[in-house]
């Protein structure tokens, strides 16, 4: 593989449209600052701001994750316990508005054939999966059962449940790897 483009900020989440463009939100631009969502054309890779995700508060940084388009061309982006939406516009990038709230840790998103939006709680580690109907009302549909693991027993945690941490392999570390 090769690098298509580099970004000045951390990114997470990626989606595409039918015109050969990728979309990705930037993260952590400082307390109270909105995070841009960029469009990147595959043939001419340039970062083009097409919208903004608001920061959760004046004293917090935004940290958007998953994103997906609906059939009408609106882009949905997760941020904390909210899912925002907007129509991308490079000429006048809009500030996204809340489509759904009450979905803590929302991460990846996908639409079903009926236009419902689905997401999981990703970063909370509780295994919840929500369906958000077309009017923005979330319903917890099910939970993924906890797993037993012994990955981090040495570090004083582990056992039952999910471990939503990045593991590293380093010579002499307490985490073993291949």
Q: Distance of alpha carbon 119 from its chain centroid, rounded?
A: 10
Question: What pLDDT shows up at residue 124?
Answer: 79
Give me the residue label for tokens 């993924």.
Answer: 144
Residue whose entry in the numeric block shows the structure tokens 């958000």: 132
Q: Which of 64, 60, 68 is nearest to 81 (CA)?
A: 64
Q: Are 57 and 99 in contact (CB under 8 A)?
A: no
Per-residue pLDDT of the chain (178 residues; tens, 9 = 90+): 788 888 888 888 899 999 999 999 998 888 999 999 999 999 999 999 999 999 988 999 989 999 999 999 999 999 989 999 999 999 999 999 999 999 998 989 999 999 999 999 877 778 899 999 999 999 999 988 765 555 555 555 555 555 555 544 444 444 444 4
87 Cβ partners below 8 Å, 6+ apart?
73, 74, 75, 94
Tell whether pTM > 0.85. Answer: no
Contacts of 52 (CB under 8 A, 6+ apart): 34, 35, 36, 37, 93, 94, 95, 96
Contact between 62 and 55 (Cβ < 8 Å)? yes
Q: How many CB atoms lie within 10 A of CB 114?
A: 8
49 in Cβ contact with 38 (< 8 Å): yes
Cα(36)–Cα(24) distance, rounded to whole angstroms?
Answer: 9
């Amino acid at each position: 593989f090769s690098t298509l483009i580099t970004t000045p900020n951390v990114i997470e989440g990626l989606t595409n449209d039918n015109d050969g463009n990728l979309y990705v939100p930037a993260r952590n631009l400082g307390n109270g600052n909105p995070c841009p969502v960029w469009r990147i054309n595959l043939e001419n890779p340039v970062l083009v701001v097409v919208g903004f995700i608001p920061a959760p508060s004046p004293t917090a940084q935004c940290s958007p994750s998953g994103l997906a388009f609906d059939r009408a061309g609106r882009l949905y982006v997760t941020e904390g316990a909210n899912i925002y939406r907007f129509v991308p516009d490079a000429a006048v990038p809009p500030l996204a508005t809340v489509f759904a709230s009450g979905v803590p840790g929302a991460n990846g998103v996908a639409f079903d054939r009926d236009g419902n939006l689905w997401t999981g709680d990703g970063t909370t580690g509780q295994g919840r999966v929500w369906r958000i109907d077309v009017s923005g009302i979330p319903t917890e549909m099910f939970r993924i059962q906890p797993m037993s693991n012994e990955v981090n027993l040495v570090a004083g945690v582990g056992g039952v449940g999910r471990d939503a941490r990045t593991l590293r392999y380093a010579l002499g570390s307490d985490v073993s790897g291949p």
